[in-house]
């Protein structure tokens, strides 16, 4: 070995080989269980977190599961507006589940599909129990008017891809597909029309039917047109979209009453289809009865942890 190193190699090779050996020695030295290690596990040592399986009490699975809200500005504003539906949802699940709003203003199903694997991998994938997916408003903008347009066929394709990604990456998350909502005017911002929005609603419902054949009860749909308009009234050619003004601030984005109906719509699907995800059915994370907790002055960390996390 030494011979090899000191052979007819350039100075540079010699130098780097020696450097490598030195690093290897230092590394080996640091890895060997020395007296420092033994000292740190001594009872009187300065508070080190318990790491061995003997000192950590067995704990129940106390972690927070997640509800992920995927969409466009209707989701983004849902977490920004003071009365936003996403904000209200995270209030409802306080200390029970994490509600993460991932809404991207202006996005269509094409861009959202590309982002979905990364968004799903942001969090331990088996922690995501429900994905609420509301996308399609921007897909419907008139062709040629904006890079946001996605044809109906491709829109359905991307809904299918997004649900496939959710199934493959999370394995057990439920999916609540939400149709793009109506707008409260025949035309909004020059390039959203009530009639084309209606077609994207139908496209979303059809995509849901096909996804349902594969996923079964792991997927459900919330029809925003029924929620806002009701009883298929919006199918009547004389229907006046202005009657929906009470739900929208600018014809397209929810205001208080729209947020509230959306919030209630999501909850009612959860409660009827997936009662195990009903917040009323969950206990709060970490013990809440602090009046029964071991006091600090007792110095019994293990008892305090047992009280907090459960376990033996």
Binding site for ligand NAG (CB under 6 A): 72-74, 83, 85, 88, 92, 105-106, 124, 126, 137-138, 146, 148, 230-231, 256, 259-260, 263, 275-276, 278, 280-281
How near is the Cβ of 23 to ligand NAG at its closest, in Å?
33
How near is the Cβ of 305 to ligand NAG at its closest, in Å?
20
CA distance 40 to 242: 71
3-state secondary structure of 122: coil
Contact 159, 177 (CB under 8 A): yes
How near is the Cβ of 301 to ligand NAG at its closest, in Å?
25
How near is the Cβ of 249 to ligand NAG at its closest, in Å?
11
How near is the Cβ of 19 to ligand NAG at its closest, in Å?
38
C-beta of 174 vs 259, nearer to ligand NAG: 259
Smallest Cα–Cα separation from 225: which of 213, 212, 209, 243? 243
Burial class (CB in 10 A: 0-12, 13-18, 19+), 125: middle
C-beta of 73 vs 179, nearer to ligand NAG: 73
C-beta of 57 vs 275, nearer to ligand NAG: 275
Contact 184, 248 (CB under 8 A): yes
CA distance 273 to 175: 11
CA distance 91 to 98: 10
C-beta of 48 vs 276, nearer to ligand NAG: 276
C-beta of 92 vs 96, nearer to ligand NAG: 92
């Amino acid at each position: 070995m030494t011979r090899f190193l000191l052979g007819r190699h350039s100075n540079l090779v010699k130098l780097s080989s020696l450097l490598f050996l030195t690093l290897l020695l230092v590394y080996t030295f640091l890895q060997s269980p020395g007296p420092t290690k033994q000292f740190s596990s001594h009872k009187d040592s300065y508070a080190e977190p318990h790491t061995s399986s003997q000192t950590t009490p067995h704990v129940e699975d106390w972690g927070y599961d997640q509800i992920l809200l995927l969409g466009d500005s209707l989701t983004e504003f849902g977490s920004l507006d003071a009365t936003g539906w996403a904000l209200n949802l995270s209030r409802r699940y306080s200390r029970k589940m994490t509600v993460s709003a991932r809404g991207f203003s202006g996005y269509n199903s094409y861009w959202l599909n590309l982002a979905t694997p990364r968004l799903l991998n942001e969090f331990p994938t088996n922690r995501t129990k429900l994905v609420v997916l509301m996308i399609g408003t921007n897909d419907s903008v008139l062709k040629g008017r904006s890079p946001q347009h996605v044809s109906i066929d491709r829109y359905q394709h991307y809904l299918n891809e997004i649900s496939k990604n959710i199934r493959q990456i999370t394995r057990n998350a439920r999916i609540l597909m939400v149709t793009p909502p109506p707008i409260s005017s025949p035309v909004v911002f020059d390039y959203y029309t009530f009639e084309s929005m209606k077609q994207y609603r139908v496209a979303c419902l059809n995509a849901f039917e096909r996804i349902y054949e594969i996923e079964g009860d792991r997927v459900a749909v919330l029809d925003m047109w029924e929620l806002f308009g009701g009883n298929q009234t919006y199918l009547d050619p004389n229907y006046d979209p202005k009657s929906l003004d009470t739900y929208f601030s600018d014809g397209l984005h929810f205001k208080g009453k729209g947020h509230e109906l959306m919030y209630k719509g999501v909850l009612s699907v959860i409660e009827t289809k997936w009662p195990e995800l009903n917040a009323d059915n969950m206990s709060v994370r970490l013990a809440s009865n602090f009046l029964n907790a071991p006091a600090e002055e007792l110095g019994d960390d293990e008892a305090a942890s047992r009280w907090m996390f459960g376990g033996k």
